[in-house]
């Protein structure tokens, strides 16, 4: 007869006996028809124990957050009391009957900046909780030493002319030593060329960026804090997360390719097609550096008995074709790989042009205490002339340029050949 132990093992999740063993065991006891039915018992999702445990965890987490908020508020109150105690006393002339007076917003801002500078210290660990963001912009005041330096410099006309001359001399000397400029323009004369230079004093220090986070202090306590971020890193991260220039360039390139395919289809169908000047311009461009140039083989004339030496000379003049690496495993299967040098490459000339159009250079913000010197500098060479758009940062305390950026604005050749041919 049926043994309970056998059936318990067949329905158990662990040490399950194979079905063939159960069938053999039952057949030995004289049973011919065997029927095995498996049953799966599904537990309820919301049970009493689970609901009680979830409620306990939620209440505990809420109490923890409430306790942390109370600690932060208490710490802020203590910091404010400490700041009030360290503020300078009010002069007797400005005091009212009660020995005090109303504090202006400017004084409050100055005290807050001083307190922030004094209390600024690095903790043990900083855990960022978000992306960087700009801080509120500040501006120079008339009493700031940076603004006083700008005022004295603006009244000193000879020094301003000297600063402008230093920029022109520096740019032309760098162009003379650069082989690319020499190749395009020929021999450069650093004493010739027009200039247009102007000095721009900023209204305030550069915009600063910070990212929020949680900081572990030396007392092994966590607190909300912010960390300063370099403006260059912030702008690069913004370009990576929002690549608008690349997206616009890809859209323009795909639009041009689809339009060209549509024109080819109309031409194949027999309709008259008028190509735009942009397509005609890019049609004559050479392929990109990564694209292989098509090689045409000249037909070999039949050899004649009178010129065997010429044929031998041509064979010797032709360079031997490089042998491609072969894979014996693929050769046995009858498979061959294509030549990497003959692989088709996409022409990205229009994409590069659109990328140069949409990509904007990063705006230069002068550091604190410096000012901008911008303008146009013309470079005269033997073959052509070029105009550069120059942006530099000058530090009056160090009496030198600390940053220089230039890009080509235009180039004119003295002898211009017709592009359409003779």
Backbone angles phi, psi at 374, to 5 degrees: -125, 165
The residue written with tokens 């002069």 in the block is 91
What tokens were used for 417? 């050949």
User: Per residue in 297-323, is it b (16+ CB within 10 Å) or e — as a string?
Assistant: eeeeeeeeeeeeeeeeeeeeeeeeeee
- Give residue 417's pLDDT: 81
At 40 the pLDDT is 78
What does the alpha-carbon distance between residue 140 and residue 370 come to, in Å, rounded to a whole number? Answer: 12
Question: Is the model's pTM score more than 0.75?
Answer: no
What phi and psi values does residue 293 have, to the nearest 5 degrees? Answer: -80, 140
Residue 144: phi, psi to the nearest 5?
Answer: -70, 145
With CA atoms as reference, report the closest residue to 385 among 421, 416, 356: 416
- Tens of pLDDT, residue by residue, the chain (422 residues): 455 554 454 455 555 666 677 667 766 666 666 666 777 777 787 888 888 889 999 999 888 887 766 666 666 666 666 555 555 544 445 444 444 445 555 656 665 665 555 555 556 788 888 888 888 988 998 888 899 999 999 999 999 999 999 999 999 999 999 999 989 889 998 888 999 999 999 998 988 888 888 888 877 788 888 888 888 888 888 888 888 888 999 999 899 889 888 888 888 888 877 766 655 555 555 544 444 444 444 444 444 444 444 445 444 545 455 454 566 666 666 666 666 666 566 778 888 888 888 888 777 788 888 999 999 999 999 999 999 999 999 999 888 999 998 888 899 988 888 877 77
Burial environment of residue 377 by CB neighbours within 10 A (0 to 12, 13 to 18, 19 or more):
buried
Closest Cα to residue 377, out of 366, 388, 365, 385?
A: 388
Which of 69, 66, 156, 143 lies closest to 106 in space, CA to CA? 143
What's the CA gap between 141 and 365, in Å, rounded? 18
d(CA 16, CA 13): 6
- C-alpha–C-alpha distance, residues 366 and 272, integer Å: 57
pLDDT value of position 335 = 64
Contacts of 275 (CB under 8 A, 6+ apart): 263, 283
H or E element that contains 372: strand 371-381
For 337, the enclosing helix (H) or strand (E) is none
Give the pLDDT score at 225.
Answer: 86
In which residue are the tokens 């072969």 written?
A: 326
Question: What is the b/e burial string over 223-234, where b = at least 16 CB atoms within 10 angstroms of the residue's CB?
Answer: eebbbebebeeb
Output the CA angle 152-154-155, nearest 5 degrees. 65
Which residues, 6 or more positions from 169, have their beta carbon under 8 angstroms from its beta carbon?
190
Q: What is the pLDDT of residue 48?
A: 86
Could you tell me the two tokens for 264?
Answer: 């080819």
Name the helix (H) or strand (E) containing 327: none
Q: Are 407 and 184 in contact (CB under 8 A)?
A: no
Phi, psi of 174 (to 5 degrees): -65, -40
């Amino acid at each position: 007869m049926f043994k309970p132990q056998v059936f318990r093992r067949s329905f158990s999740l662990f040490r399950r006996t194979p079905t063939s063993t159960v069938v053999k065991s039952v057949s030995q006891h004289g049973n011919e028809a065997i029927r095995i039915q498996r049953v799966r018992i599904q537990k309820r999702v919301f049970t009493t124990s689970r609901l009680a445990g979830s409620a306990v965890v939620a209440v505990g987490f809420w109490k923890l957050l409430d306790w942390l908020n109370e600690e932060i508020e208490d710490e802020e109150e203590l910091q404010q009391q400490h700041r009030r105690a360290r503020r300078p006393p009010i002069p007797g002339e400005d005091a009212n009957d009660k020995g005090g007076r109303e504090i202006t917003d400017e004084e409050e801002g100055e005290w807050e900046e001083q307190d922030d500078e004094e209390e600024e210290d690095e903790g043990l660990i900083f855990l960022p909780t978000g992306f960087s963001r700009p801080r509120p912009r500040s501006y120079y005041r008339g009493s700031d030493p940076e603004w006083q330096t700008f005022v004295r410099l603006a009244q000193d006309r000879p020094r301003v002319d000297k600063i402008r001359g230093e920029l022109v001399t520096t740019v032309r000397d760098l162009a003379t030593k650069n082989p690319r400029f020499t190749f395009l323009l020929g021999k450069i004369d650093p004493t010739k060329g027009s200039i247009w230079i102007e000095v721009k004093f900023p209204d305030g220090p550069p915009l600063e960026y910070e990212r929020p986070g949680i900081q572990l202090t030396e007392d092994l306590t966590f607190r909300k804090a912010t960390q300063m971020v370099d403006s260059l890193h912030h702008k690069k991260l913004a370009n990576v997360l929002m690549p608008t220039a690349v997206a616009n360039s890809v859209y323009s390139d795909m639009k041009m390719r689809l339009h060209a395919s549509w024109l080819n289809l109309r031409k194949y169908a027999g309709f008259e097609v008028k190509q735009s000047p942009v397509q005609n311009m890019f049609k004559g461009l050479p392929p990109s550096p990564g694209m292989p140039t098509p090689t045409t083989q000249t037909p070999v004339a039949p050899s004649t008995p009178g010129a065997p030496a010429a044929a031998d000379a041509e064979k010797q003049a032709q360079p031997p074709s490089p042998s491609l690496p072969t894979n014996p495993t693929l050769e046995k299967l009858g498979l061959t790989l294509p030549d990497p040098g003959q692989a088709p490459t996409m022409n990205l000339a229009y994409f590069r042009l659109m990328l140069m159009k949409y990509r904007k250079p990063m705006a230069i913000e002068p550091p604190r205490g410096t000012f901008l010197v911008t303008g146009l500098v013309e470079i005269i060479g033997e073959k052509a002339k070029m105009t550069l758009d120059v942006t530099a940062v000058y530090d009056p305390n160090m009496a030198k340029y600390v940053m220089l950026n230039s890009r080509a604005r235009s180039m004119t050749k003295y002898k211009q050949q017709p592009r359409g041919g003779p």
